[in-house]
Amino acid sequence: MNPLSIQHVSKTYKTPKKEDLLAVDDVSLVIAPGSIHGLLGPNGAGKSTLISLIAGINTPTHGSITLFGLDVIKNPEAAKGLIGVVPQEVVVEMAFTVQEVLYYFSGMYGVPQAQRQARIDQALDDLQLTEKKHEKAKNLSGGMKRRLMIAKAILHQPKLLILDEPTAGVDVALRQKIWELVRRLNASGTTILFTTHYLEEAEQLCDAITLVNHGKVIKEGKLKDIQQEFSKNIIHFELFNKSVSHPSDVVATGSEFEFPMTNLAQDMNMITTHYGDNLKNIRSEAASLEQIFLTLTK
Ligand SMILES: Nc1ncnc2c1ncn2[C@@H]1O[C@H](COP(=O)(O)OP(=O)(O)OP(=O)(O)O)[C@@H](O)[C@H]1O
Ligand SMILES: [Mg+2]
């Protein structure tokens, strides 16, 4: 049974004054048991909207979503119990202590009374919050609040953990800790879906990625296969004068320009003919995930 199956899901936000906004556009996505799956895409691509649909916080305009075979729209409460969700926005119960917050959430997710304290202690240890156990949530630093959000989401040992930009704005040490935790939870059988803007993070952690842009899936698969598909097929060049017209597939990256290569000789010829004496230098190179991302989302 797949932890997550999304079939032809769309979400339109109705806004009273402006035009309706199609935030998720006919997305289909299946996540295999035991995988670490990365959802990547630029700001506004629809990642958080998709997560809100999976989490049952929002309802799709079209399509179906199942969690371990259970229809999220028909069985929202049961479906919620199967997953842990860490939203992008930091939301913590400010007036309560870390321990109180975790106690409340363990109850809400139906952790048996006898197991609650052990689970809380484990989560505190996992997220290195034990020292802050009796501190009010409002007095935690930003990174600690994010850690508390992750602790809340793992108390009921969900089989699918969904993290929306878990490492945004956290320091390097904490990022490593979160990676370790993700790997450890995954090794003990938890399937992971997370979003990130850090391509290095996707390269480090993911078995497979889905790249979204303007609400649509534009690429998916194993990272290695995607990199292979794009490997050795980027042509880089510099121009003396950048303010000129470009062939349609050319992308500006800092001081350089890039072009996805199909045939080395033909492409080089096309570039040299197009730019003539304006061409400063030209070379071909293997694509990094960063370049693939830029090429696909331009
Ligand atoms: N509640 C809402 N009402 C109306 N429009 C919304 C709402 N939530 C999101 N949107 C719009 O839907 C689009 C997708 O937003 P979403 O938050 O899903 O993007 P994202 O991929 O998570 O971006 P980011 O990387 O910045 O977090 C955006 O244009 C956004 O403005
Ligand atoms: Mg988002």
Ligand 1 atom at minimum distance from 197 CA: 25
What percent of the chain has a predicted confidence (pLDDT) above 70? 98
> Nearest C-alpha to atom 17 of ligand 1 is from which residue?
48
Token match 């009921």: residue? 156
Query: Ligand 2 centroid vs 48 CA: distance in angstroms?
Result: 4
> Nearest C-alpha to atom 5 of ligand 1 is from which residue?
13
Quickly state the pLDDT bin for 265 (edges 50, 70, 90): confident
pLDDT for 232 equals 60
Give the contacts of 260 (CB within 8 A, at least 6 positions apart).
230, 233, 234, 235, 249, 295
Quickly state the pLDDT bin for 231 (edges 50, 70, 90): low
CA dist 132 and 99 (Å) reads 9
Give residues whose Cβ lies within 5 Å of ion ligand 2.
Answer: 47-48, 88
From the CA of 19, the nearest ligand is: 1
From the CA of 216, the nearest ligand is: 1
List the 70-71 sheet strands across, edge first.
21-31, 4-13, 62-67, 70-71
Q: Per CATH, which fold does 4-227 belong to?
A: Rossmann fold (3.40.50)
> Nearest C-alpha to atom 26 of ligand 1 is from which residue?
43
pLDDT digits (tens, 9 = 90+) for 4-50: 999 999 999 998 877 899 999 999 999 999 999 999 998 999 999 99
* Of residues 27 and 170, more confidently modeled: 27
* Of residues 261 and 44, more confidently modeled: 44
pLDDT for 249 equals 87
Ligand 1 neighbours by CB, cut-off 6 Å: 13, 15, 21, 23, 41, 43-49, 88
Domains of the chain, by residue range, sit at 4-227, 232-297
pLDDT for 145 equals 92
CA dist 130 and 270 (Å) reads 62
